[in-house]
A and B are shown apart, each in its own frame.
Chain A
């Protein structure tokens, strides 16, 4: 459709653009500016150049935050996807029992993060918690997994996996409905076992769902905050200080707006690179699939 006037599309876009500019681009520009200043909201701000970035890089604080966030993200995305897929495959059949289990698994996703975090804080308590005490018997987390700097981050990651696996499962279940039965039947007639049918029929058809789940859970894991705020407050010894919490801590606990802004700018850069990588990988996968299709 051709617009009646050249500016009409822009006019239609204007409300969204205005909102984006006001709540996204303008704050982003403001953050970029603040990252070159030292400011505590109370005393006048001072221009400090790159000092905020230097302070972050010095002593490996930034590297630690990036490493922890990536580690947490990888564990959360990989495990929740794998578990979600397995559950979807296992529960994709009719019957009341299966429907109930599907509902039960998904229910964790509906509950608020704060409630989940509180619940798991109790469960993981080293002395009184059901899971914490069991883990301690297995020799994991001496004084409680949340009090041990070596285990705290992984404990948070597993809690997040527990919470969002239901989401991955539902998306995969939806994806499974699109796999035609006839394909499975044909493959079975040709003598393909369940494993080969999954690998050559189900998985290729589920790829778009997987890409969707992967992207959204990565975003979710990078935005993790509530679970850290409630369960560990970034400790012990900063072992659970991941990106968003680090930004919060700098600005609200340490009263360093400049340093928090510098962190936010770096965070933005990291997300940009990751999104780029993901798009590239997705396009590469599509191109390969198209090639295969042409050859066939």
Chain B
């Protein structure tokens, strides 16, 4: 019989212990069916999340040993912040995915599991230009730590209905882009009712312009040259479109908010032509009330695009069993069938060489010419330097200065010189 307060406390403590016991004793790395569990942190919303979760489901149906627990962690930036915090706390997931520019930073910080030791790592048959070896300058000189997941290039999307009514073709050069955007822009008494062109004021698209103007954002060894004269020319081109020609709307918001705003304007018919990632191909096609056209980005002195999107990585520190499960999942995702399912249902690039050939042979790209654009652009893709500071230069130093130049009319040469100076500071 309970008489005193002490007895009550004792009873509660005993109850808690009893309640916890079964859960505490069970092996946290196994689920009720005895499958080894590994956690996957991902950064997708909408359509892409659906497709990923569907592939995870398919993984569970095709084998009985492993279970992947997929957990949404916010957009790429939020996901990275949580990943670092979890790494510090010793609670990192067995597998996750990070943007290309972050891979060298994490690899050099020695927090990623080298993948070469896992069975079959050397013969995954990946598309070179978007695998680690081709995505970075001398990418194969570094230990394999990243497998391509959702890789992309920027492409141009256009409202086919408007283009046809105006008898316009997608622009193939910068000059044509200016002319086309001017022809597409419509103004009325209250302002601009339709913008000819829209692209987020973002490092990625500026990097594309730099490549087209004949420059590189960084030297081979990772020193931030920011394109030199080509960088200035690229930035001045954006200024011309926004301030001089007034044919381009700088979308509100920053980071992925600006990307979303660009998509929304395109879908609502407020922008007739946009640049964004090939990742949104299916999403834009499915949600537009008009036929969507895709085209390669125009050239200045040459054609050029960066690659984008993310790589799968395995943070160090997960138990070996979980790593084994994660690796099984990665192999599954790299296989032609899954790589193609992912690519054709989202718009990302197929990562498997065999898979890509299968799509070509089956006539997929003839039936879906929009999907071919990004694949064809890989021939003009420039690799990123293997530079640990790259993402910091991008986000902290270059990004605000691009905004400054485009939105406040800061001199592009001065803005980029200031960025180079800031990049040299620790």
Instruction: Please tell me the number of chain A residues within 8 Å of chain B, measured between CB atoms.
Output: 35
Q: A42-B84, A136-B190, A237-B408 are in contact. Are A255 and B392 (CB under 8 A)?
A: yes
Interchain nearest-CB distance for B129 vs A (Å): 28
What per-residue 1/0 map shows which CB atoms of B393-418 lie under 8 Å from chain A?
00110001001100110000000000
B16 within 8 A of A: no
Residues of B within 8 A of A48 (CB): 426
Residues of A within 8 A of B105 (CB): 42
Q: Which residues from 77 to 99 on chain B have a C-beta closer than 8 Å to any C-beta of chain A?
A: 77-78, 81, 84-85, 87-88
Residues of B within 8 A of A146 (CB): 252-253
Residues of B within 8 A of A255 (CB): 81, 84, 392
Contact across chains for B249 and A233 when beta carbons are under 8 A apart: no
Residues of B within 8 A of A153 (CB): none
Q: Which residues from 243 to 257 on chain A have a C-beta closer than 8 Å to any C-beta of chain B?
A: 251-255
Instruction: Tell me, in angstroms, the Cα distance from A236 to B401 when the chains sit together.
Output: 10
Interchain nearest-CB distance for B174 vs A (Å): 22
Contacting A252 at CB < 8 Å: which of B81, B192, B254, B425? B81
- Interface of chain B, helix or strand or loop or mixed? helix
Contact across chains for B392 and A236 when beta carbons are under 8 A apart: no
Q: A125-B252, A128-B270, A147-B252 are in contact. Are A237 and B87 (CB under 8 A)?
A: no
Interchain nearest-CB distance for A128 vs B (Å): 7
Contact across chains for B85 and A41 when beta carbons are under 8 A apart: yes
Contact across chains for A254 and B84 when beta carbons are under 8 A apart: no
Instruction: Tell me, in angstroms, the Cα distance from A127 to B188 when the chains sit together.
Output: 12
Instruction: Tell me, in angstroms, the Cα distance from A233 to B105 when the chains sit together.
Output: 24
Q: A42-B106, A147-B250, A252-B77 are in contact. Are A236 and B407 (CB under 8 A)?
A: yes
A51 within 8 A of B: yes
Residues of A within 8 A of B268 (CB): 128
Instruction: Tell me, in angstroms, the Cα distance from A234 to B303 when the chains sit together.
Output: 33
Contact across chains for A126 and B395 when beta carbons are under 8 A apart: no
Q: Which residues from 23 to 57 on chain B have a C-beta closer than 8 Å to any C-beta of chain A?
A: none
Contact across chains for A237 and B404 when beta carbons are under 8 A apart: yes
B362 within 8 A of A: no
Q: Which residues from 98 to 144 on chain B have a C-beta closer than 8 Å to any C-beta of chain A?
A: 105-106, 109, 111
Residues on A close to B: CB < 8 A? 38, 40-43, 48, 51, 55, 121, 125-128, 133, 136-137, 143-144, 146-149, 231-238, 251-255
18 new A-B contacts, CB < 8 A, other than A147-B252, A233-B257, are A41-B85, A41-B87, A42-B87, A55-B425, A121-B252, A127-B249, A128-B268, A133-B190, A136-B190, A143-B249, A147-B407, A148-B407, A235-B254, A235-B403, A236-B250, A236-B254, A252-B81, A254-B392
Q: 8 A-B residue contacts at CB 8 Å? A: A42-B109, A48-B426, A55-B425, A146-B252, A147-B407, A232-B254, A235-B253, A235-B403
